[in-house]
Amino acid sequence: MASVFDEGKLPLEFITEETPFSSCFDSSAPPKPLLIATPTVNGTYPVLLLLHGFYLRNYFYKGIFQHIASHGFIVVGPQLYSLVPPTGPEEIESAAKVVNWLPQGLQSLLPENVVADLTKVALSGHSRGGKAAFALALGHAKESLSLKFSVLIGIDPVAGANQYCRTNPHILTYVPRSFNLNIPVAVIGTGLGPEKKNGCLSQPCAPDGVNHKEFFNESKLPCAHFVAKDYGHLDMLDDDLPGVVGALSGCTCKNGSGSKDLMRKSVGGIVVAFLNAYVNGEDENLLAIVADPALSPAKIEPVEFITA
């Protein structure tokens, strides 16, 4: 079995596309700045839209983007805001605009002879971006979506500070299997996300009651749950993050003591395995990970995969 936890064999490139001031008059211009990782080998590839976390930058995820794209996917990461984080509903509307831009603008940015297969679009997000991805899939955007999602993947999604202080819209119901979704869902969590950093901060980054556990519990079948036991909420980001935001991100969440590269490989590999299973119809890697979680570079415990 070719390991999804190793980088794939496809050469790729990163494309950065800013939003011009004239974008309101040009439908081909992206509504938000984009970071795109794409294979450069001739072919047609599924698309993964990945929404960044609270106050983070899309380029903090370049390692994850590279890992996924090298296995034959076009990864699109919009920068949904710059300085001031929007409200939850505004974030969802921004993401919806990006979704509706894809059919008219994505292809023009890709390398020659690389084609985006927009019949196979997966939606993902990390942290608050994971919650926004679920909200978008659940139909909370006012703007009608022009594309249908094939798969939904939450990477340590967070819906607020606690069960009684959640970001709008309130999508968690605390009723098992209650999400009104008819697509496969994978939720990747972290074991240290619910813990405070050094025991001194007032708020963990992924508190119990609003984190990956509840998102998985409310997802309908088929759904999968993978928890990186010894890693924290931001450990899948790149090393040495630049700028003030990068420096602040290193001070907010409890981190694991292991190599972040192992965490990135684990998250990237699980995403690739789930996409292969439910977008490409190739479930060998996913079933192998479920049967033997020790295949993952980072310790994954628990692993749950419910299909019926």
The CATH number of residue 291's host domain is 3.40.50.1820
Q: Which token pair is 163?
A: 């069960």
Instruction: Please check whether residue 255 is in contact with residue 192, taking contact to mean a CB–CB distance below 8 angstroms.
Output: yes
Predicted confidence (pLDDT) at residue 121 exceeds the cutoff of 70: yes
In a domain, 185, yes or no: yes
Would residue 233 show up in a list of annotated catalytic residues for this protein?
Answer: yes
Would residue 94 show up in a list of annotated catalytic residues for this protein?
Answer: no
Predicted confidence (pLDDT) at residue 292 exceeds the cutoff of 90: yes
In a domain, 1, yes or no: no
Range of the domain at 45: 12-306
Predicted confidence (pLDDT) at residue 15 exceeds the cutoff of 90: yes
- Please tell me the least confidently modeled range out of 26-30, 114-118, 182-186: 26-30
Average pLDDT over residues 260-273: 98
In a domain, 68, yes or no: yes
Task: Quote the CA–CA distance of 33 and 54 in Å, as a whole number.
Answer: 16
Q: How confident is the model at residue 42 (pLDDT cuts 50, 70, 90)?
A: very high
In a domain, 7, yes or no: no
Number of domains the chain is built from? 1
Q: Model-level pTM?
A: 0.96
Catalytic residue among 156, 230, 235, 238: 156
State the pLDDT at residue 83: 78
Terminal Cα distance for the chain, rounded: 26
Q: Write down the H helix ranges in 174-283.
A: 212-217, 243-249, 260-278
In a domain, 132, yes or no: yes
In a domain, 6, yes or no: no
Task: Quote the CA–CA distance of 187 and 304 in Å, as a whole number.
Answer: 10
Instruction: Say which DSSP state 238 is in.
Output: P
Average pLDDT over residues 66-79: 98
- C-alpha Rg value of the chain to the nearest Å: 18
Would residue 212 show up in a list of annotated catalytic residues for this protein?
Answer: no
Instruction: Please check whether residue 209 is in contact with residue 247, taking contact to mean a CB–CB distance below 8 angstroms.
Output: no
The residue type of 249 is S
Instruction: Please check whether residue 52 is in contact with residue 60, taking contact to mean a CB–CB distance below 8 angstroms.
Output: yes
Instruction: Please check whether residue 190 is in contact with residue 227, taking contact to mean a CB–CB distance below 8 angstroms.
Output: yes
Task: Quote the CA–CA distance of 289 and 206 in Å, as a whole number.
Answer: 24
pLDDT digits (tens, 9 = 90+) for 248-260: 777 789 999 999 9
Q: How confident is the model at residue 19 (pLDDT cuts 50, 70, 90)?
A: confident
- Number of alpha helices (DSSP H) and beta strands (DSSP E) in the chain: 7, 11
In a domain, 2, yes or no: no
Q: How confident is the model at residue 85 (pLDDT cuts 50, 70, 90)?
A: confident
Catalytic residue among 70, 94, 124, 127: 127
CA 145, distance to chain mean position in Å, is: 19
In a domain, 4, yes or no: no
The chain-wide mean pLDDT, for the chain, equals: 94
Catalytic residue among 233, 235, 238, 266: 233
State the pLDDT at residue 24: 59
